[in-house]
Chains A and B, each alone.
Chain A
Amino acid sequence: MKNPTYHNLGDHSETLQLDYDPSIITFSQLLDIFWASHDPAEGSWSRQYMAAVFYHSDEQRRLVDLTVEREAAARKREIRTLTMPAWIFYLAEYYHQKHALQRDYDLMSEFKKMYPDFRDIVNSTAAARVNGILGGFGRVSLHGSELDSYSLSDKEKARLLGYLKASH
């Protein structure tokens, strides 16, 4: 089914796709985070919320297969998380994007001034970072030194620093 929506999902699954710089983080490191972030032996209750990794190349598939074997051995359980080729990725509707950021009027106002087109906010690394910080996933040690690179006002930078300190 083409162009799924939240209320008409067809056989699609809620999925995250990230573009990354392999000189900073490797696919293997991302896989480690993926396996640590869910129980791959549990299986999925629905197509909408299934667990799966979608490979984009033969090399990614090789690394996924290796880690499936590793996880099965470490857990002594069958891995039920699916391995599938990546296909067409459809963006979720805008009201599902950058959820924590969209609920913060002041920060969202500053991003709207920088990016009048919401598509640019969806693709912005700065917006992704701020969204994560608002969600409680920021760390002073990781993100404190890069707050200046988000091009936000001093007032909002100070507020984000407060979120970072509260996340410890």
Chain B
Amino acid sequence: MTALNMTLKRNIPEIDAAVPELIETATFALG
């Protein structure tokens, strides 16, 4: 589903609909 379709389908924030194609994950513990 494209970001545009997601926006139309649900009233979600524009910033959430703009899902990047490539996402990486990082994990930290800061004490």
Give the B-binding residues of A (Cβ under 8 A): 13-24, 27, 30, 34, 37-38, 42, 44-45, 49-54, 56, 60, 86, 89, 113-115, 120, 124-126, 129, 146, 148-152
**Are A52 and B25 in touch, CB under 8 angstroms?**
no
**Are A125 and B28 in touch, CB under 8 angstroms?**
no
Specify which chain A residues have a CB less than 8 angstroms from the CB of B23 in the assembled complex. Answer: 19-21
**Are B27 and A15 in touch, CB under 8 angstroms?**
yes
How many residues of B sit at the interface, in one of the four size bands?
10 to 19
CB under 8 Å from chain A, chain B span 1-31: 10-16, 18, 20, 22-31
**Are A114 and B13 in touch, CB under 8 angstroms?**
yes
What is the count of residue pairs linking A and B with beta-carbon distances less than 8 angstroms? Answer: 96
Which residue on chain B has the smallest CB distance to residue A17?
A: B27
Within the complex, which residue of A45, A54, A150 is in contact with B28, where a contact is CB–CB below 8 Å? A54
CB distance from B13 to the nearest CB of A (A): 4
**Are A51 and B13 in touch, CB under 8 angstroms?**
no
**Are A114 and B28 in touch, CB under 8 angstroms?**
no
**Are B26 and A126 in touch, CB under 8 angstroms?**
no
CB distance from A10 to the nearest CB of B (A): 15
Top 10 closest A-B pairs, CB basis?
A126-B13, A21-B20, A54-B27, A149-B15, A149-B14, A151-B13, A51-B31, A52-B29, A15-B29, A17-B27
